[in-house]
């Protein structure tokens, strides 16, 4: 005995029954009602959101003998039944472009479209699914007929990747009316599944349907297919445990247990936690996807949002844990999760367990991270809480899981500037800046930081030097400061080398730099940099990467901030973004 799947049994027959796509269905219904139907449509959107369904409803409406005055098809006449079920119809032709994608297929379609509909007053509709699979040559073969189609012939192209059509055949877009379909909201998915279960005579709590809606990821067809799968493997009314067992989903309690482990800094329990997941038969890839969704929900709640993807019990337990985490902590955890599989590395890796364990261990060591503002306040740069002796006090260790607040305070205080975390790191990795403390307010002091600042102003076109000397100065850099002498570094073999060694030029540079840094006089020493050779491949600038750009940006920040430079030097810190 054959059985029809739920996704097909409860496929909409009218425009008003298509969930979450009112902006498309109402426009099409109105076009049919007013006899203003276009000759070509492009339906774009994720899978399972109603693209092909609406194309069929449009075809049903145009060829329905009992169509209502509002443009809705009856859905029950012979023509509507044939089109709705996808059976053979002379006037409605569905083509799978994935298997009919060549130029010969397009020419055949073009020739068939020249024939009139089977009866007077009817329309011939071509529904081309997966349209992005058509080749460039196939699109070119269709261009003319799309621009000037025969009377009462309509083309509907459905695709999940409209950008590929844009790349292969841009002129197609101007010949079609484009509609972008939305993902179906969780509430709409739950409502539709509830209707289907009621017609099937089955009851299920919302807590059991919520995991199905989350896994469907906005696709109505996926939600009904998953629901069909659950009903096939359970007896009677399905429960939340049945749904998770059938679909292989990880319980939210597991993620709550993980957050509790992170908040308590129980790094050693990570290995046992992952081992239990594997022993209980969970797929680590499914755990990874669920972790990303759970952390996103946690961050949303922590920032004051309302999250409907979690049950009331889970939200209550999560609210009790969230004071132990600042929004920055949750954001860094979520970023680490998304980066793990940014290039498909996790899915392709044969060592998924190791990758998951390393990821969770990183979570448990979040207390090694402090905010830059805390470091500056501790060094006296924050202003008001440094005491009257002007000394520098060490910062108190941050509470577990927080970057700018403590669990007892609930939410952390809002920083006055974007937070840049500073992490304790081995000495060999720290970008060392041999900077002296900043000059006092009473008298200027020549330091490496002040010299570099002054040179930066000069190279940007500061006063005291001829116009246009900036490019020449930017080839040089301040390498060191010893007493009142500033050592400048210039690439070996530079065409400016001889020029800058002339006493008059060097004297003028020294005078201009002294004015910039606020000292009476200073001496310049010009030395060649053997690592940088002008005009040589070996001395060519290194290839710019994300990592090198980040290092340069952080190095310049250290050079421009004396207090930060002192912190880096004294505490052997490594700056991260």
Whole-model pTM?
0.59
Q: What is the pLDDT of residue 426?
A: 43
The closest of 141, 137, 173, 144 to 157, measured between CA atoms, is: 173
Q: What is the pLDDT of residue 135?
A: 92
Give the pLDDT mean for 59-86: 89
Give the pLDDT mean for 233-239: 83
- CATH numeric code, 250-412+419-424: 1.20.272.10
Bigger pLDDT: 322 vs 428: 322
Bigger pLDDT: 399 vs 247: 247
Residue recorded with tokens 């000394």: 391
Q: Which fold has domain 6-180?
A: Rossmann fold (3.40.50)
Q: What is the pLDDT of residue 573?
A: 67
- CATH numeric code, 186-247: 1.10.8.60
Name the band, by pLDDT with cuts 50, 70 and 90, for residue 397.
Answer: very low
pLDDT at 15 over 90: yes
The closest of 236, 235, 240 to 213, measured between CA atoms, is: 240
Q: Please give the share of the chain, as a percent, with pLDDT higher than 70.
A: 75
Q: Domain segments of the chain: what residues?
A: 6-180, 186-247, 250-412+419-424, 448-575
Q: What is the pLDDT of residue 116?
A: 82
pLDDT at 186 over 70: yes
Interhelix angle 186-200/220-233, nearest 10 degrees: 40
Least confident residue range of 43-52, 424-433, 464-473, 518-527: 424-433
> Rg of the chain over CA atoms, in angstroms?
34
Q: From CA 523, how far away is CA 480, in angstroms rounded?
A: 12
Q: What is the pLDDT of residue 482?
A: 84
The closest of 249, 333, 259 to 296, measured between CA atoms, is: 333
Q: What is the pLDDT of residue 133?
A: 93
The closest of 303, 326, 334, 335 to 419, measured between CA atoms, is: 326
pLDDT at 208 over 70: yes
Least confident residue range of 215-224, 252-261, 422-431: 422-431
Bigger pLDDT: 368 vs 465: 465
Q: From CA 371, how far away is CA 420, in angstroms rounded?
A: 6
Give the pLDDT mean for 449-453: 82
Q: How many CB atoms lie within 10 A of CB 347?
A: 11
Give the pLDDT mean for 331-355: 86
6-180 and 448-575: identical CATH topology: no
Class of CATH domain 448-575: alpha beta
Secondary element (H or E) of residue 527: strand 523-533
Side-chain-facing half-sphere of 207: CA atoms under 13 Å? 11
pLDDT at 479 over 60: yes
pLDDT at 409 over 50: no
Name the band, by pLDDT with cuts 50, 70 and 90, for residue 344.
Answer: confident
The closest of 133, 134, 93 to 111, measured between CA atoms, is: 93
Name the band, by pLDDT with cuts 50, 70 and 90, for residue 537.
Answer: very low
Q: From CA 383, how far away is CA 46, in angstroms rounded?
A: 53
Mean pLDDT of the chain: 79
Q: What is the pLDDT of residue 120?
A: 82
Encode 154-192 in three state secondary structure. EEEEEECCHHHHHHHCCHHHHCCEEEECCCCCHHHHHHH
Give the pLDDT mean for 400-406: 40
Q: What is the pLDDT of residue 393?
A: 36
Name the band, by pLDDT with cuts 50, 70 and 90, for residue 467.
Answer: low
Q: From CA 364, how far away is CA 329, in angstroms rounded?
A: 11
């Amino acid at each position: 005995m054959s059985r029809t799947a739920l996704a097909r049994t409860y496929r909409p027959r009218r425009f008003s029954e298509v969930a979450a796509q009112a902006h498309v269905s109402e426009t099409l219904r109105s076009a049919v009602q007013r006899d203003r139907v276009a000759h070509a449509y492009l339906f774009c959107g994720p899978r399972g959101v109603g693209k092909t369904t609406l194309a069929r409803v449009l075809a049903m409406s145009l060829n329905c003998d009992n169509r209502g005055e509002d443009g809705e098809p009856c859905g029950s006449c012979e023509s509507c039944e044939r089109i709705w079920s996808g059976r053979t119809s002379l006037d409605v032709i569905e083509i799978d472009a994935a298997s009919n994608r060549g130029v010969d297929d397009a020419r055949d379609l073009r020739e068939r479209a020249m024939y009139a509909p089977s009866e007077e007053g009817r329309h011939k509709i071509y529904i081309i699914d997966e349209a992005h699979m058509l080749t460039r040559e196939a699109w070119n073969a269709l261009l003319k007929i799309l621009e000037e189609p025969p009377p009462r012939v309509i083309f509907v192209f459905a695709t999940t990747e409209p950008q590929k059509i844009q790349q292969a055949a841009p002129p197609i877009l101007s010949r079609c009316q484009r509609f972008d379909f939305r993902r179906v909201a969780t509430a709409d998915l739950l409502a539709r599944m509830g209707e289907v279960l009621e017609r099937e005579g089955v009851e299920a709590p919302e807590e059991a349907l919520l995991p199905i809606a989350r896994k469907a990821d906005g696709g109505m067809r996926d939600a009904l297919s998953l629901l069909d799968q659950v009903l096939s493997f359970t007896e009677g009314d399905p429960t939340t445990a049945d749904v998770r067992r059938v679909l292989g989903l990880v319980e939210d309690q597991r993620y709550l247990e993980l957050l509790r482990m992170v908040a308590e800094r129980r790094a050693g329990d990570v290995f046992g936690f992952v081992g239990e997941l594997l022993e209980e038969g969970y797929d680590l890839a499914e755990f990874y996807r669920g972790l990303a969704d759970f952390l996103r929900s946690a961050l949303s709640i922590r920032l004051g949002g309302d999250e409907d993807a979690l049950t009331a019990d889970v939200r209550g337990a999560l609210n009790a844990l969230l004071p132990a985490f600042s929004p920055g902590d949750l954001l860094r955890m979520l970023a680490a999760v998304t980066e793990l599989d940014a290039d498909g590395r996790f899915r392709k890796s044969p060592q998924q367990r190791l990758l998951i364990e390393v990821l969770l261990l990183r979570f448990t060591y979040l207390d090694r991270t402090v905010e830059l503002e805390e470091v500056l306040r501790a060094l006296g740069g924050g202003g008001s809480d440094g005491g009257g002796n002007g000394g520098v006090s060490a910062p108190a260790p941050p509470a577990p899981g927080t970057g700018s607040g403590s669990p007892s305070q609930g939410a952390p205080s809002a920083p006055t500037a974007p937070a840049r975390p500073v992490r304790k790191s081995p000495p060999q990795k720290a970008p060392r800046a041999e900077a002296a403390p900043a000059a006092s307010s009473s008298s200027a002091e020549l330091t490496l930081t002040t010299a570099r600042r002054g040179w930066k102003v000069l190279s940007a076109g500061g006063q005291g030097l001829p116009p246009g000397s900036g490019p020449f100065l930017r080839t040089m850099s301040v390498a060191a400061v010893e007493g009142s002498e500033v050592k400048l570094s210039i690439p070996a073999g530079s065409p400016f080398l001889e020029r800058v060694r002339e006493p008059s030029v060097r004297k003028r540079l020294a005078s201009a730099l002294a004015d910039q840094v606020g000292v009476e006089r200073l001496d310049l020493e010009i030395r060649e940099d053997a690592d940088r050779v002008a005009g040589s491949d070996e001395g060519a600038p290194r290839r710019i990467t994300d990592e090198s750009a980040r290092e340069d940006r952080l190095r310049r920040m250290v050079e421009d901030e004396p207090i930060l430079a002192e912190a880096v030097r004294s505490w052997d810190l490594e700056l991260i973004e």
